[in-house]
Amino acid sequence: MTPVFEVRNLKKSFGGLAVTDNVSLSLRPGDRVALIGPNGAGKTTFVNLVTGNLKPDAGEVLMAGETLTRSGPAERVRRGLVRSFQVTRLFQDMSPAEHIALAILQRDGRANNMTGSYLDRPEVMAETNTLLAALGLETQAHRKVREIAYGQQRLLEIAMALALKPKVLLLDEPAAGVPQSDTGRIEAALAGLPADLAVLMIEHDMDLVFRFARRVVVLAAGTIIFDGSPSDVTHDQRVREAYLGSYADAGRAA
């Protein structure tokens, strides 16, 4: 099966320091991959490179075999490469329904010609309501974002990403800042993602990683040091030394 997303020999340096050092990986439809590593490993830089927010020094980014390396962020989104952010980027005085409706209109190229209210567009409202229900946000649809819980704001970001109809979804710490009592909602949302959607998730919560991922990629000092199954990652000596030592020891003790 042809990869839906592929990175080949990606490189990026700042001031002579290689933060992305010859990184290659690929995703196929339906993949559930976790990208993990210590702070400063280059995970967010990697996401910024593949989404077009940074230009690589070398290497290629491809969707379905076609290069996106010279394409800007908007074109990559149009091609199906969509990301969420580590810190929420929502408009505090807008409602969840307004956020999702705007994402739908942007996807369809209608945001610049937005006349009247999205409430007058039945097809937009139908899709908006479906996404709100899928993420458990229907009761919060018309409240202002600043009035809803942070965990619900994270769910809203996932809903907005899905409104763009991605083929590849890059999630940058979707549970960051969410109280432990609300992480179950995030996990339920992840479990409910479309089966054919390829997902790459950056996350520090290792329990969440091992429940979500069918494949784990470990980045350390800008280099991939492991790419394999969750069952094997805790036994890899390089990974234990770079990142998972205490977690792996706790798992073994248990």
Q: What is the DSSP letter of 33?
A: E
pLDDT digits (tens, 9 = 90+) for 80-111: 999 986 556 788 999 999 999 988 988 887 66
Phi, psi of 3 (to 5 degrees): -60, 140
Q: Tell me if 133 is assigned to some domain.
A: no
Domain that holds residue 214: 5-89+165-253
Q: Tell me if 223 is assigned to some domain.
A: yes
Percentage of residues of the chain with pLDDT beyond 70: 90
Q: Kindly report the CATH number assigned to the domain that includes residue 215.
A: 3.40.50.300
Count how many domains the chain has.
1
- Residue with the bigger pLDDT between 179 and 66: it is 66
Tally of CA atoms within 13 A in the half-sphere of 117 that contains its CB: 5
Q: Tell me if 227 is assigned to some domain.
A: yes
pLDDT for the residue numbered 253: 39
For the chain, state the CA radius of gyration.
Answer: 19
Q: Tell me if 141 is assigned to some domain.
A: no
Q: What is the DSSP letter of 206?
A: H
Looking at residue 134, its amino acid is A
Say if residues 67 and 50 touch (Cβ distance below 8 Å): no
CA separation, residue 71 to residues 54, 178, 189 (Å)? 11, 33, 30
Q: Tell me if 200 is assigned to some domain.
A: yes
Q: pTM, whole model, 2 decimals?
A: 0.87
- Directed axis angle between helix 150-163 and helix 122-134, to 10°? 130
pLDDT for the residue numbered 77: 92
For residue 225, give the 3-state DSSP assignment.
strand
Find the range with the poorest average confidence among 15-29, 39-53, 112-126, 172-186: 112-126
Q: Tell me if 9 is assigned to some domain.
A: yes
pLDDT digits (tens, 9 = 90+) for 144-203: 999 999 889 989 999 999 999 999 999 988 888 888 877 888 898 899 999 999 999 998
